[in-house]
Amino acid sequence: MSSKRVLALWDEKGENAKDTSILRKKSVELPVPMDKESREIIQILIDSFLERDDAVGLAAPQIGINKRIIAFRIKGFEGKGEIIDPDDFEVLINPRITQKRGEMVKGVEGCLSCPDIQVEIIRFPEIKVRALNAKGEKINKKYLDYVARVIQHEIDHLDGKLIVDYGGDIYYPKSKQLFFEKLFKY
Give residue number: closest CB to Zn ion: 111
Closest separation in Å from C-beta 7 to Zn ion: 10
Closest separation in Å from C-beta 153 to Zn ion: 6
Closest CA to 132 of 23, 25, 4, 31: 31
Nearer to Zn ion, 25 or 135 (CB): 25
Give the Cβ contact number of residue 171 at 10 Å: 13
Nearer to Zn ion, 111 or 117 (CB): 111
Closest separation in Å from C-beta 168 to Zn ion: 14
Sequence-distant (6+) residues with CB within 8 A of 126 are 99, 100, 101, 102, 142, 143, 144, 145, 148
Residues tagged active-site: 154
Closest separation in Å from C-beta 123 to Zn ion: 13
> Where is 129: in which H helix or E strand?
strand 126-132
Looking at the chain, the number of H-run helices and the number of E-run strands are: 4, 10
Nearer to Zn ion, 111 or 121 (CB): 111
Sign of CA dihedral 172, 75, 95, 22: positive
Which residues contact Zn ion by CB under 5 A?
A: 111
Instruction: Compute the distance between CA of residue 119 and CA of residue 117 in angstroms, rounded to an integer.
Output: 7
Nearer to Zn ion, 71 or 132 (CB): 71
